[in-house]
Structure 1
Amino acid sequence: MEVRTFGDLIDWTRQLHEHLASCLAHCANEHEEERAQMLLNYLAAQEAEMQRVVARFEQTADAKALKTYVYDYLEHQPIKTHRTCEAPYAALSFDAICQEVFDFHEQTIQLYRSLAGKAEIPETKELVDALLALEEHEAMRLARQTGRMHDV
């Protein structure tokens, strides 16, 4: 997907969360370890919820902000994730699954931090700050919850 505007960026982020949710759910059925299956199902549900929340941004954000071009995005490295899911998470350990998902969120956070620092229009600054806060909150929540699951 070509990202030209903040609206495109939000849609792209929504699609990444949606794809990750689908991949995690698919891999949960393929994993041999019960604890990893539980983790994958939990993470899939959380990513599906993130997809829904990000989709709401597309519907409720300021129209001016959504139409603003994202020139600086083109300089940012693309977020790396399993773009095609041929059960890669099914082969990973509990800790490796956590690391992959945390890395995905960290890349998204870094992208939004970069854009927030360069946003010149108040509406886009507000939008990026809200998306950044959402991703940071979700990353902290996932770390806390997976830490609890790790202890079980």
Structure 2
Amino acid sequence: MEIRTFEELIDWTRMLHANLAACLSHCSTSQEERARLLMDYLSEHEAKLEKVIGDYERQAPAQALRTYVYDYLKHSPLKPHEDCDKSFADLDYHSIIKLVIDYHDQIMALYQALLARVEIPETRDLVQSLLELEEHESMRLVRQTGRMDDL
């Protein structure tokens, strides 16, 4: 997907979370119970995050959404395994957590890079809000998966 505007960037982020949720759900059936429970939790979390980001997309100011992002974007966004080639099925509990957190870290790094360069106030506010959402959800994932690990 070529990303030209901030609207497309938000849509790409939403689709990434949707894809991650689908892959986790699809691959969980071939895992042992502990990893399956983790993947089910992560899948639900990513699906909820997809909906929240969809709300951002519907409520954001039109001026911010229409701002061209390619002026600010120096690297290509990450590419999840779009065909869900069972890579999650081959991972252990801790590797699954690490991979999901890595996706969130890459999204946050992208938003941080954009935030440092965006000059339009509405767009800056939108990117800041999305960054804070990703940071909060990443911290929540770390906390919740840490608790699951304690069980």
Partner residue of 1:11? 11
Whether the 8 Å contact between 2:72 and 2:118 is mirrored in structure 1 is no
- Deviations along 1:67-114, one digit per CA (max 9) or x if unpaired, are 000024541242142222121111100000000000000000000000
1:124 partner letter? T
RMSD over aligned Cα, in angstroms?
1.0
Q: Counterpart of 1:65? A: 64
Partner of 1:108: 107
Q: Which runs of 5+ in 2 are unaligned?
A: none
TM-score, structure 2 normalization: 0.96
Question: Is the CA contact (8 Å cut-off) linking 1:15 and 1:51 kept in structure 2?
Answer: yes
Alignment of 1:72-83 (within 5 A): 72=71, 74-83=73-82
The number of equivalent residue pairs is: 151
Q: Structure 2: how far apart are the matches of 1:96 and 1:73?
A: 32
Distance 2:102 2:94 in 1: 12
What is the distance in 1 between the residues matched to 2:3 and 2:76? 13
Unaligned stretches of 5+ residues in structure 1: none
Which has a greater percent of helix?
A: 1
Contact 2:73–2:114 under 8 Å retained in 1: no
Deviations 1:36-77 (A, max 9, x none): 000000000000001000000110000000000002454124
User: Is 1:53 matched up with 2:52?
Assistant: yes
The residue that corresponds to 1:28 in the other structure is 28
Identity of aligned residues (%): 53
SS at match of 2:94: helix
Amino acid at match of 1:101: V
CA separation in 2, counterparts of 1:80 and 1:140?
22
TM-score (norm 1): 0.96
> In 2, are the aligned partners of 1:72 and 1:115 still within 8 Å (CA)?
no
